[in-house]
């Protein structure tokens, strides 16, 4: 039995993601995180990219102070897809970061969700 190396945190946060289909068509989806960890996340969504697909992910965390959202954005790879056949639960997929240096955290009061960060955003790199 394979043991997880990282602690997972239960978190219901909005998630936006996009990937390129096998026909080179840009695909988009949205969902809610079920849990997150330092290297990745599980996203519940009716739209799931295929296993091994590179995806661009943006997780939108609500502000604890009510002033700004916090957004975590970067590139990841789909490592597992769960599809519910019995009508119970929700479809979803697990992603793991591809490159620790490419993930950023940003706060912005007026940035539209899915903007993939603008120059006016405050950003910091996430390192492991």
Nearest to 45 by CA among 11, 12, 10, 15: 15
Sorting pLDDT into bands at 50, 70 and 90, what band is 111?
Answer: low
Give the separation between CA 114 and CA 70, rounded to whole angstroms: 12
Nearest to 104 by CA among 85, 121, 82: 121
Q: What is the CATH number of the domain that holds 48?
A: 2.30.110.10
| Domain-embedded: residue 27 | yes
Query: Do 98 and 110 meet the contact criterion of CB atoms below 8 Å apart?
Result: no
| Domain-embedded: residue 4 | no
Q: Is the pLDDT of residue 96 over 60?
A: yes
The pLDDT, as a whole number, for residue 125 is 39
| Domain-embedded: residue 2 | no
The total domain count for the chain is 1
Task: Tell whether pTM > 0.95.
Answer: no
| Domain-embedded: residue 17 | yes
pLDDT in tens, 37-92: 888 999 999 999 999 999 999 999 877 776 678 888 999 999 999 988 766 668 99
């Amino acid at each position: 039995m394979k043991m997880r190396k990282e602690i997972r945190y239960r978190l219901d946060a909005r998630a936006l993601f996009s990937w390129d289909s096998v026909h080179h068509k840009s695909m988009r989806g949205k969902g809610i995180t079920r849990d997150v960890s330092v290297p990745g996340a599980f996203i519940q969504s009716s739209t799931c990219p295929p296993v091994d697909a590179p995806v661009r992910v943006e997780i939108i965390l609500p502000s604890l102070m009510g002033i700004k959202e916090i957004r975590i954005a970067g590139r990841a790879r789909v490592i597992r897809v769960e599809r519910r056949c019995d009508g119970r639960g929700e479809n979803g997929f697990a992603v793991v970061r591809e490159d620790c240096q490419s993930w950023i955290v940003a706060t912005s009061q007026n940035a539209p969700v899915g903007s993939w960060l603008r120059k006016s955003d405050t950003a910091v790199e996430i390192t492991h």
